[in-house]
Amino acid sequence: MSHHAGRTVRRPTFCPNPDCPYHNRKLARTSPWYYHHGFFSSLARGRTRRFRCKHCGTTSSTQTFSIHYWTHLPINLRDLDD
């Protein structure tokens, strides 16, 4: 994670493609396996950074690795404990 213009930027830790060698987290830590691939916008999250794997070409975003990926909107997980 790094900070850019006051915002926290999450960086992918591995390629989401299970057939890619960089899906292995240990290998992915040893090499710059991805590059920035622009942004996309959504009503729920606004501007979101995209990445592309240099090896297999799979694209992902900061949202791909988020616990909120399938919710399509941020939820307060503490509210689920009631």
- Shortest CA distance to 10 belongs to which of 77, 79, 69, 75? 69
Q: Phi and psi at residue 3, in whole multiples of 5°?
A: -110, 135
pLDDT in tens, 7-57: 555 788 999 999 999 999 999 999 899 999 999 887 767 788 899 999 999
Cα distance between residue 28 and residue 33, in whole Å: 6
Rg of the chain in Å (alpha carbons): 14
Put simply, whether the predicted model's pTM sits higher than 0.75 gets the answer no
pLDDT in tens, 41-55: 877 677 888 999 999
Residue 35, beta-bridge partner list: 52
Quick one: what percent of the chain has pLDDT higher than 70? 78
